Amino acid sequence: MLQGGGYIATGPRTYMATVDHAASLVIGRKARFDPAPNLSIPTVYFNFATYDTLNRRIKDARLLTDYIGRVKANYLQSTSTGKRLRKTLLQDEMKKEVEITLWPEMRHLIGDDVIPGHIVAITSTMVTEHNGRLQLESTYLTTIFINPDMPQMIDHINRLRALPAMEPTGTNEQIATLQDLKLSSQQNIQSSRNFICKAKIKQIHENRGWYYGLCSKCSNKLYPQQENDKLNFVCKDDDNIIPNFRYCVNATIEDTTGSADTVFFNESMQAILNISCGDMVTKHAETTNPKIVPQLIRSITDTTRLLNLTLKPDGQIVVNNVRDVPSTTETQSTSTVPGTSAFTPTTPVPKPAISKRPITETLGTDKKMKRT
Ligand SMILES: [Zn+2]
């Protein structure tokens, strides 16, 4: 590649952190550089690792790793020490998953605009293990290319694009089934766990009530007191208060793997209805009786949503947030076979017919610098 002469070629250097390479050039005073105007040399060199080689790279901190894959998830995560990390889950050409961790100083290399399906090429990472999953950590040498189109990696890009499309969830997390939740609740873990499920709101349990009031002065729960035909919310300590109404709707949800009893608290109901609980009580409810569910709330039954769920140690399932299912996936279902996990998308949709060049099945073409 280098046009010139007078240099010495030696074996690869291993005493400093570097990407795997075949040889090093020793440039001494005798070395000579000549312009090479007609040579098209890529400005970036990649030597993408394959998944199978990552394990042995864990032990060699000096060997830096380039990787390319398709984004499956992308989000910010806080550490216990308050650091904000960028986590990006990549799926490679063999559909193996590797997690990228960008430390705060490199976090900006991937933004929130990077969504599932985008292709990411990352250079000069360190392979480590985190929660039983292989992880690529950024180093100060790391660079990242989002949806790259460099000729030297076109084969990788084509193979990634030829993978079956992932089910877009509109979220950065994977969809669990209600059976996953049930199995998880049987594990007797003493901490809350979060899940996202695509489930149908099957039945609202009216007799459990649909709202309550908090005191505007002390924030304690108010006592509903029937006075003539009017329901008053009374604080045991304070007078002249304004009730702060909050949703609390008990409902059974179901998907193809089972059903679960859940509680929709204020944020999740407001996300579905776009009406505050106060407005619902004062403007939309047919009656203030908490055990008679307004028609507007009843109308959400038999609708399918993406639900952010928290499974509490006591087995209670709380719905924290609710989003609409992206319209393109409305007719698709998650795992339909009991006993299988929907953590792997099961409904392939047609392959995108994007192919700038014929796909060649030659592996390792990135090692040869293409001069096209
Ligand atoms: Zn009070």
Bridge partners (DSSP) listed for residue 232: 225
CA of 207 to the centre of ligand 1 (A): 26
CA of 220 to the centre of ligand 1 (A): 6
Is the per-residue pLDDT at 325 higher than 90?
A: no
How far apart CA 117 and CA 90 sit, in angstroms, is: 9
CA of 240 to the centre of ligand 1 (A): 9
pLDDT confidence band for 240 (50 / 70 / 90)? very high
Q: Give the pLDDT of residue 167.
A: 55
CA of 292 to the centre of ligand 1 (A): 25
The alpha helices in 285-351, defined as continuous H runs, are 295-298
Q: Give the pLDDT of residue 16.
A: 66
Q: What is the pLDDT of residues 143-186, one digit of tens each?
A: 999 998 888 888 999 999 888 876 544 444 578 889 988 888 88
CA of 211 to the centre of ligand 1 (A): 17
CA of 303 to the centre of ligand 1 (A): 37
CA of 226 to the centre of ligand 1 (A): 18
How far apart CA 345 and CA 166 sit, in angstroms, is: 7
CA of 279 to the centre of ligand 1 (A): 21
CA of 221 to the centre of ligand 1 (A): 8
CA of 321 to the centre of ligand 1 (A): 28
- Which residues line ion ligand 1, judged by CB < 5 Å? 215, 217-218, 235, 237-238
CA of 222 to the centre of ligand 1 (A): 7
CA of 99 to the centre of ligand 1 (A): 49
Question: What's the chain's length in residues?
Answer: 372
Q: Count Cβ atoms below 10 Å from residue 247 Cβ, excluding itself.
A: 23
Exposed, middle or buried: residue 357 (CB in 10 Å: 0-12, 13-18, 19+)? exposed
Predicted model pTM: 0.46
Task: Give the chain's mean pLDDT.
Answer: 80
Six-digit token string for 115: 């969504």
Residue found by looking up tokens 């029937």 in the block:
226
Q: What is the mean pLDDT of residues 291-311?
A: 92
Is the per-residue pLDDT at 366 higher than 60?
A: no
Say which residue, 192 or 102, is predicted with more confidence. Answer: 102
DSSP E strands: which ranges in the chain?
Answer: 4-5, 8-10, 18-19, 24-26, 32-33, 63-78, 84-91, 97-102, 119-130, 133-138, 144-146, 175-176, 193-204, 211-214, 223-227, 230-234, 244-255, 258-265, 304-311, 317-324
3-state secondary structure of 367: helix
Q: What is the mean pLDDT of residues 296-311?
A: 92
Q: Give the pLDDT of residue 13.
A: 67
Q: Give the pLDDT of residue 329.
A: 43
Report percent pLDDT > 70 for the chain. 82
Q: Count Cβ atoms below 10 Å from residue 6 Cβ, excluding itself.
A: 11
CA of 306 to the centre of ligand 1 (A): 36
Q: What is the pLDDT of residues 243-266, one digit of tens each?
A: 999 999 999 999 999 999 999 988
Is the per-residue pLDDT at 229 higher than 90?
A: no
* Amino acid at residue number 119: I
CB 267 within 8 A of CB 232: no
Q: What is the mean pLDDT of residues 325-338?
A: 47
CA of 243 to the centre of ligand 1 (A): 9
